[in-house]
Amino acid sequence: MKVVKLGGSLLEQPEKLNALFQSLKQHEDEIVLVHGGGSLVQQWLSTAGLHSEKQSGLRVSPEPHMSYIVGGLAGAANKILMKQAIASGLKPIGLTLYEAGVNCVRQSESLGQVGLCQVSSTEPVPALLADLLMHGYLPIISSIGFGENGEWFNVNADDAAVAVAATYNADLLLITDVEAVLDGSGSPLSHLNSESIQQLTQAGVIKDGMEVKVRGALSAAKRLRRCVRIGSWNVMNNPFSGTQISE
């Protein structure tokens, strides 16, 4: 199984999205999509007159903001991707982290309903995603999760993708709006490991959303004992593009 995470910026670029789904068709029996939609959520919250802020790349998510966040991610963003998948001849099924077998807990009081995914190394791998793939479906998972008492959570979509890949012991590819992680002069970096990530983060070269992404990719590479790739929409067609993250 390959978990492919799509950043929210792609939702606003139908041509790139179309090209990406065409390339996904060649791997349809093994791909699971996990998606974000941060820019769409931001628009919905602003339109509702709600001020939203981020702490270390995570959106502070008070309960009164949650219906907009859930509506944006599990609703509009998920269904925009379903539209594109159907138009590309694929058979999507829209899910949250809960149906994918990933449970969440509250990350911290100060972040409100931001969820932290719990990945068990002892429980058996849930069967649902493999069953869906076997029946020809393309699972499209939003980064909305639930706790054991039914509380809903907003999970950073990179963290959500890492958790799905870890739960299913799957390959992980993070697709974003830049061709690769870039160095201080804006050139793409082909490889990164723990040491270079620490240096570039401390130097402020890797920051904001990319910092969360790179840290997630590194923790997944360690846990899965394989490389994780960060790249742009055409990385499926060119597996050597983007940045390879290893331990």
Told to judge if 7 belongs to the known catalytic residues of this protein, a careful annotator would answer: no
Angstrom distance (rounded) from CA 31 to CA 1: 6
Active site residue 16: no
Residues that bind ligand X2W (CB under 6 A): 7-8, 36-38, 41, 58-59, 69, 73, 114, 143, 154-157, 209
Is 209 an interacting residue with respect to ligand ADP (CB under 6 A)?
yes
Catalytic residue status for 38: yes
Interacting residues with ligand ADP between 160 and 179 (CB under 6 A) = 176-178
Q: Which does 206 bind (CB under 5 to 8 A by kind): ligand ADP, ligand X2W, none?
A: ligand ADP
- CB neighbours of 172 closer than 8 A, spacing ≥ 6? 2, 3, 5, 161, 162, 165, 217, 220, 224, 228, 229
Residue with tokens 């791998």: 125
Q: Which of 29, 123, 131, 208 binds ligand ADP (CB under 6 A)?
A: 208
DSSP string, 186-232: SPBPSEE-HHHHHHHHHTTSS-HHHHHHHHHHHHHHHHHTS-EEEE-
**By CB under 6 A, residue 8 contacts ligand ADP:** yes
Q: Which is nearer to ligand ADP, 21 or 137 (CB)?
A: 21
* Contact positions with ligand ADP (CB under 6 A) in 73-102: none
Quote the CA–CA distance of 35 and 118 in Å, as a whole number: 18
Q: Which residues are known to be catalytic?
A: 5, 8, 38, 158, 213
